[in-house]
Amino acid sequence: MGELQRLSRRAFVFGSAAVAGGVVFGSYGDAAQAATDSDNPLSAGLGPNSASFNPWVEISPDKITLIAQHADIGQGVGSIQPIMIAEEMDLDPGQFEVRFAGPSPAYFNTGFADEFAPFVAADQSPAAEEARAKTLEWLRQSGLQMTGGSSTLPDTYEKLRVAGAVARETLKAAAAKRSGVAVADLRTQSGHVILPNGTKIAYVDLSADAARIPPVLDAKPRDPSKWRLLGKPMMRLDIRAKVMGELKFGIDLKTDGMLYASVKLNPGKGQPLKSYDASKARAMPGVRKILEIKNGVAVIATNSWYAMKAVDAIACEWAASAYPAEQADHWSVLESSFKPEFLGKEWRKIGDIEAGLKTGRLVEAEYRAPYVAHQPLEPLNGIGLVTDKGMDIWVSHQSPRFVQYVAATAIGLKPEQVTFHNQWAGGSFGHRLEYENVRVLAEIANQMKGTPIKLVFSREEDFLQDIPRQIAIARHRGSVDKSTIVAADLQLASTTPLKGLLERSGTPSKDPDGQLAAGLWNVYYDIPNFRATSYEAQGLSPSTTWRSVGASTSGFFTESFIDELIHAAGLDPMQARIAMCTVPHYRKVLETVAEMSDWKGPLGNGRGRGVAFVESFGTPTAEVVEVTKTERGIRIDKVWIAVDVGKVVDPVNFENQVQGGVIWGLGHAINCELTYAKGAVQQTNYNHHEAMRIYQCPVIEVRGLENDPKVRGVGEPPVPPAAPALANAIFAATGLRIREMPFNKFIDFV
Amino acid sequence: MIELTVNGIKRQVDVVPEMPLLWVLRDELGITSPKYGCGVAQCGACTVQIEGMAVRACQAHIGEIAGKSVVTLEGLEKRDQHPVLQAWIEHQVPQCGYCQTGQIMQAISLLDLISQPTDEDINEVMSGNLCRCGTYPRIRAAIHAAAAKKMAEK
């Protein structure tokens, strides 16, 4: 872990400003180097007469295997990543197999370079680009392998196409050597090199030759105008298997001789077990063993249900949580965190904020966002087998090398003794960046040495152990002079999601949590006096990254407050945003959503529209929500959303992801909170934490723009504008300004 | 031993009668398209047919369905040409896909009840099936497409 710790120390010299997203676009040469300069993790497993030119392509005499570098948590990595390689290799879907990457520094995430550099995304100045380039170098050295931060496309868009081009040109070089034909006279099509006389040589037939020549490193990816697959509607590779019920998720795996485990852990997250009584459980059907683990108990049984029923019957006495037992006290701590001793960082200061606030009319508002749960539909699970040599773990996870570290640390192994096999995930939303199942599975499998153990969390246990999204309060002040916004002073007290995750990953950071700046400092309106400040609340529940992370709360606070200022100035919410927006291609995003929704001011008759604009992870996103006030409550009728991602590489999946992000943002804003009582969350199944069901789902019209100079991700950016656009729409329809999530505490929804 | 028919094949299982069908299918019989999501009929991911009716397998005790016929997605007749599955593929409904087998089993049941459902019908019948990824717009479109296809085939 030395290397990863170095990342923590060095990357966070910048104050862990995990704010903006995207990739540092080096030259093709840089990207090709990124594709080849690390030790290639595929080399060790190569069979005879097989070739691998870089960490993403493997060709053996019988098949071609392409590596999906990131975890597939539903966002389509297992399809788009191999297809980017296949595009350049002239492979067709069906001509290759896909495998998830194992742990290796070769798979470091270049897409985090923008996030970790202390510049807002729209800042493309030489100083900003230089800082991003430095951060990229640190990422390379540390080997940070992680899926998250909407970085899968920014990370891989260039390097996987380069990897494919290198493979293609190397295969051509091998064919040239064998046939005596000049490389320039060869072409490739459908998995074959084609000679001028029409003779076709299959790539797999060239594997032995290709293995004996050096890879052609100066290969260049094609211009997008030449694309066969990318940029056009295509069938995701995993769709058919998922529809036919044939795709095996982690929870579906089975091995010979396997036993099943379920657990009950201290709901006061992270605290130990004091005592337990398992006498009832011991006598229940199917029970093989009761185990005590670090912070709870486990039952080993002959199937999952027997294990869950038995563990439920164990009476446990728990040590008290380290955070306040009752929810009201969590809010109190936040309320008293707006003090110098809790200062995270003053992220941005423009003009003279104190003088600005004294000009014109002062507007003040307080906003709140509760803890919420991730709760992907596939609960935490995994299979573990510990032998004298080490541990094998089959689990879906976004941070392969940290899985090795966490599992190894739990049972006294070295990280390299843990063999990690990544699995298809039934969703994540940030849940599979955490380690509860990994740590517990290592402990159980270690006590059951030699027997494969399948661990499945019950839904209730999953809720109880789910490390929630940050809780936050914002106290915003601003001033309006006639029809001009003069000042905005944005202040936030919050728990620290990224810091918490880094600490649990074994790479603690003392620097301010950069995610508390997301959605707070990257405001692109022409407001002459501006300040953005974060305070870090101490002693509350651990919190972690939840789809869109800091911006999921700050986007709501900031864009609701901007709306209040705009109304105070007597302006139209859409026209004012467009007029104030300082970045031309961001303004275009707002203009696009105005055009899509045919925005013409207030609707009247109990109908209302709200707009919000947030850039998160480098992706500028604008949404308009339209609602109607009915006798049964607010009905969400329609959403229009415009997103600029630089390049839409998979248009169908793009639309699906964007719609999903809107639904995620709206559903949780309306319906969801986690509250603590006696140190445990009170919501333990979906009926307590429902988010959106189909009956509440509006029509969602999506448009992708390609004006940003970088390729941007889209998994998270549609989330942050959804809640403020809805709150602003409810204000327009009813006059009620909702400043706290979930909204259903203040108004009914149909 | 409890005997039942699963996807047309007689099976015997040696478990307690209170065990939910879901876990019998998954852990005892190795049939994994019915998914565990909530265990309390809140998510619909475990939806299967018992005697032709869509049922949450997490709520059906195995003892109560002895001798009955269970069909999971794996056992649908002419699965490859099934209009609902075809529509699901054509509209590329899944993201993570974990809830989709349950969504599909529920949608088949909906179309058996109402051959040309409105959006309101879909909202009503499909609201017990949770999708955390947010594929609802595509679920609606796929159901309408499957209904149109079934109509055209008649």
Nearest to A663 by CA among A627, A630, A700, A634: A700
Residue among A304, A424, A459 whose CB faces B38 most closely: A459
- Give me the pLDDT at residue A2, please: 36
Average pLDDT, chain A: 94
Q: How far is A286 from chain B (nearest CA, A)?
A: 9
Tokens of A647: 């390049």
Bridge partners of residue A535, in order along the sequence: A343, A493
CA gap A227, B26 in Å, rounded: 43
Is A684 within 8 Å of chain B by CB? no
Q: Which residues contact B19 (CB under 8 A, 6 or more apart)?
A: A303, A305, A306, B61, B62, B63
Q: How far is A683 from chain B (nearest CA, A)?
A: 13
The interface predicted TM-score (ipTM) is 0.99
On chain B, the residues whose CB falls within 8 A of the CB of A236 are 92, 94
Please give the model's pTM, rounded to 2 decimal places.
0.96
Segment (H or E) for B34: none
CA gap A65, A63 in Å, rounded: 6
- Give me the pLDDT at residue A51, please: 94
* Binary contact (B137, A73; C-beta < 8 A): no
Is A235 within 8 Å of chain B by CB? yes
Q: Which residues contact A384 (CB under 8 A, 6 or more apart)?
A: A391, A392, A393, A394, A395, A407, A441, A442, A444, A445, A452, A453, A455
CA gap A375, A262 in Å, rounded: 17
Q: Which residues contact A644 (CB under 8 A, 6 or more apart)?
A: A585, A586, A588, A589, A619, A620, A621, A704, A705, A706, A707, A708, A712
- Give me the pLDDT at residue A291, please: 98
Is A322 within 8 Å of chain B by CB? no
Q: In a 3-state reduction of DSSP, which class is residue A550?
A: helix
CA gap A12, A513 in Å, rounded: 10
Residue B124: pLDDT over 60? yes
pLDDT tens track for A544-590: 999 999 999 999 999 999 999 999 999 999 999 999 999 999 999 99
Per residue, the 3-state secondary structure of A559-598, as one string, reads HHHHHHHHHHCCCCHHHHHHHHECCHHHHHHHHHHHHHHC
Backbone angles phi, psi at A525, to 5 degrees: -105, 150
Residue among B73, B93, B96 whose CB faces A245 most closely: B73
Residues of chain A with pLDDT under 70: 1-38
Q: Strand pairing of A97-100 and A187-189?
A: unpaired
* Binary contact (B100, A687; C-beta < 8 A): no
- Give me the pLDDT at residue B19, please: 98
| Preceding amide of A742 cis, omega within 30 | yes
* Binary contact (A239, B36; C-beta < 8 A): no
Task: List the single best residue of A262, A305, A683, A719 to mutate versus B (max B Cβ within 10 A).
Answer: A305
Is A694 within 8 Å of chain B by CB? yes
On chain A, the residues whose CB falls within 8 A of the CB of B74 are 245
B73 alpha carbon, distance to own chain's centre: 6
Angle among Cα A274, A373, A252 to the nearest 5 degrees reads 85
- Give me the pLDDT at residue A132, please: 94
On chain B, the residues whose CB falls within 8 A of the CB of A76 are 95
pLDDT tens track for B66-106: 999 999 999 999 999 999 999 999 999 999 999 999 999 99
* Binary contact (B42, A235; C-beta < 8 A): no
Using alpha carbons, list the distances in angstroms from residue A276 to A265, A311, A437.
11, 11, 21
Residue among A238, A305, A659 whose CB faces B137 most closely: A659
On chain B, the residues whose CB falls within 8 A of the CB of A306 are 19
Closest chain A residue to B86 measured between Cα atoms? Answer: A243
- Give me the pLDDT at residue A577, please: 98
Tell me if A521 sits within 8 A of A19, measured CB to CB: yes
On chain A, the residues whose CB falls within 8 A of the CB of B95 are 74-76, 427, 656-657, 660
Residue with tokens 């951060």: A135
How does DSSP classify residue B20? B
- Give me the pLDDT at residue A12, please: 33
Q: How far is A584 from chain B (nearest CA, A)?
A: 31
Using alpha carbons, list the distances in angstroms from residue A319 to A136, A267, A539, A675.
43, 10, 16, 19
Q: How many CB pairs below 8 A link A and B?
A: 169
On chain A, the residues whose CB falls within 8 A of the CB of B36 are 251, 304, 379, 456, 459
Residue B43: pLDDT over 70? yes
- Give me the pLDDT at residue A38, please: 53
Is A750 within 8 Å of chain B by CB? no
- Give me the pLDDT at residue B46, please: 98
